[in-house]
């Protein structure tokens, strides 16, 4: 029970981090507007709104799927979590879908953990645990979407402004910090929830494996974002190259014929989101053997990280002795090496293998619900 209490408290922390990330970006957009930096204002708000819009769409679709799932809604009621479809539609239209999920998860978790409830049977307790973890996993998947549609692009934009235009403010630094920590939080939380939710995969061990995985992801993402920012400083037409990378990732997801969503239109949107995620980091898109795909991805990753500082130094020789260029180049090199070393260590020695374990209070083996099907068909670490 202690572990569950810790998860509940971490969920509370996740709410504050989520809100802080959004509000610091909105505050930064207001600052840019007051300074008549309308392009920066528009781009900053665009990333915030894109992340909000996409997560609301998926969140509402999942609520609707669960409402129509006979295994989740066995009584056939027209409400889920005490609300009807129109009620959920209104909340999501105002961008409150994620907050609604946080509210229901924290409320049910509080009732389960922090109050003395007289549950009828052990089976009842197991059923409640299962529902709580499915709710947490849905949230972690939505947070992963929001992270790579809002936090990661926002981090790239603000680093480009900081490095390329020498505009440094406290609000920018706070925004960068929140984006960075939001990315780290989302990656670890998602991986933990996913590993715990899939019965055929051992739960993610804590301690060293978690630290190595986080270092691998954070270092590779940081170095790639810094390289992108240098290329943007070199030429704004780098945005065309980034668009091409997004199209390649989206096309690859399409060729793999992902089957994550219940409708064709949502599946297309999902594949487009996958393209964005692959622009920043690698994930197992369709549960297949990824050794070749991952190797290819990180070869290109290494090439980009080598090319970015070199091209900037060659095409802008006035920056060759710049402390800024030397510092950023050092960070790119250091993060690249550390990230690849951690990647090798993790997948060679620490990666949980596909070991079947008995059903417990959160596995829900037996009849597969739409919720567990979502988890099974989602991105794999």
Q: Could you read off the pLDDT of 28-65 as tens digits, one per residue?
A: 999 999 999 999 999 999 999 999 999 999 999 998 88
Nearest-angstrom CA–CA distance, 273 and 269: 6
Q: Could you read off the pLDDT of 309-327 as tens digits, one per residue?
A: 999 888 888 776 677 788 9
Q: What is the DSSP letter of 237?
A: T
Calculate the dihedral angle through the C-alpha atoms of 21, 54, 62, 186, rounding to the nearest 10 degrees.
-30
Which comes out higher in pLDDT, residue 368 or 142? 142
Question: Per-residue pLDDT averaged across 336-340, rounded?
Answer: 96
What's residue 6's pLDDT?
Answer: 78
70-84, 136-150, 184-198: the lowest-pLDDT one: 70-84
Under the banding of pLDDT at 50, 70 and 90, the label for residue 130 is: confident
Question: Per-residue pLDDT averaged across 354-380, rounded?
Answer: 57
The proportion of the chain whose per-residue pLDDT surpasses 90, expressed as a percent, equals 49
Nearest-angstrom CA–CA distance, 378 and 381: 10
What's residue 362's pLDDT?
Answer: 36
What's residue 76's pLDDT?
Answer: 64
Residue 11 in this model has a pLDDT that exceeds 80: yes
Which comes out higher in pLDDT, residue 249 or 365? 249
Question: Per-residue pLDDT averaged across 191-213, rounded?
Answer: 69
Helix (H) / strand (E) element for 361: namely none
Domain boundaries, the chain: 1-204, 206-351
Name which of 324, 311, 177, 299 is nearest 232 in CA terms.
Answer: 311
381, 191 contact by CB (below 8 A): yes
Assigned token pair, 286: 């369709």
Q: Could you read off the pLDDT of 218-231 as tens digits, one per residue?
A: 999 999 999 999 99
What's the mean per-residue pLDDT of the chain? 84
CB neighbours of residue 133 within 10 Å: 22
Helix crossing, 170-197 with 2-34: angle to 10°?
150
What's residue 343's pLDDT?
Answer: 94
Q: Could you read off the pLDDT of 249-302 as tens digits, one per residue?
A: 999 999 999 988 889 999 999 999 999 999 999 998 877 778 899 999 999 999
Nearest-angstrom CA–CA distance, 196 and 106: 19
Residue 82 in this model has a pLDDT that exceeds 90: no
Global pTM reads 0.89
What's residue 266's pLDDT?
Answer: 94
Cβ contacts of 272 within 8 Å, gap of 6 or more: 250
Which comes out higher in pLDDT, residue 145 or 70? 145
Give me the sign of the Cα torsion angle 130, 131, 134, 139: negative
């Amino acid at each position: 029970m202690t572990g569950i209490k810790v998860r509940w408290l971490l969920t509370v922390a996740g709410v504050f981090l989520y809100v802080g990330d959004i509000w610091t970006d909105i505050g930064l957009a207001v600052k840019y507007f007051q300074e008549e930096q309308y392009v920066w204002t528009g781009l900053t708000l665009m990333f915030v709104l894109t992340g909000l819009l996409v997560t609301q769409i998926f969140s509402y679709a999942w609520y609707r799927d669960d409402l129509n799932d006979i295994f989740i809604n066995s009584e056939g009621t027209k409400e889920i979590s005490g609300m009807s479809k129109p009620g959920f539609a209104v909340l999501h239209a105002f961008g409150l879908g994620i907050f609604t999920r946080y509210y229901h998860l924290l409320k049910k978790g509080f009732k389960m953990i922090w109050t003395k409830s007289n549950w009828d049977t052990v089976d009842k307790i197991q059923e409640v645990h299962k529902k709580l973890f499915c709710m947490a996993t849905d949230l972690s998947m939505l947070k992963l979407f929001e992270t790579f549609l809002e936090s990661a692009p926002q981090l790239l934009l603000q680093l480009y402004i900081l490095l390329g235009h020498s505009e440094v403010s406290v609000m920018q630094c706070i925004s960068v910090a929140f984006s960075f920590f939001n990315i780290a939080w989302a990656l670890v939380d998602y991986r933990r929830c996913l590993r715990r939710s899939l019965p055929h995969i051992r739960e993610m061990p804590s301690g060293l494996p978690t630290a190595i995985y986080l270092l691998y992801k954070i270092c590779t993402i940081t170095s790639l974002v810094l390289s992108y920012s240098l290329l943007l400083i070199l030429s704004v037409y780098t945005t065309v190259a980034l668009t091409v990378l997004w199209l390649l990732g989206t096309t690859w997801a399409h060729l793999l014929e992902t089957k994550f969503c219940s409708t064709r239109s949502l599946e297309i949107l999902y594949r487009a989101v996958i393209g964005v995620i692959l622009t920043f980091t690698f994930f197992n898109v369709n549960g297949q053997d990824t050794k070749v795909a991952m190797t290819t991805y990180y070869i290109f990753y290494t090439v980009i990280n080598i090319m970015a500082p070199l091209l900037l130094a060659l095409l802008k020789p006035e920056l060759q002795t710049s402390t800024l260029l030397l510092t950023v180049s050092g960070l790119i090199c250091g993060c690249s090496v550390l990230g690849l070393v951690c990647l090798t260590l993790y997948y060679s020695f620490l990666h949980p293998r596909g070991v079947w374990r008995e059903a417990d209070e959160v596995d829900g083996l037996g009849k597969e619900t739409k919720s567990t099907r979502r988890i099974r068909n989602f991105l794999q670490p």
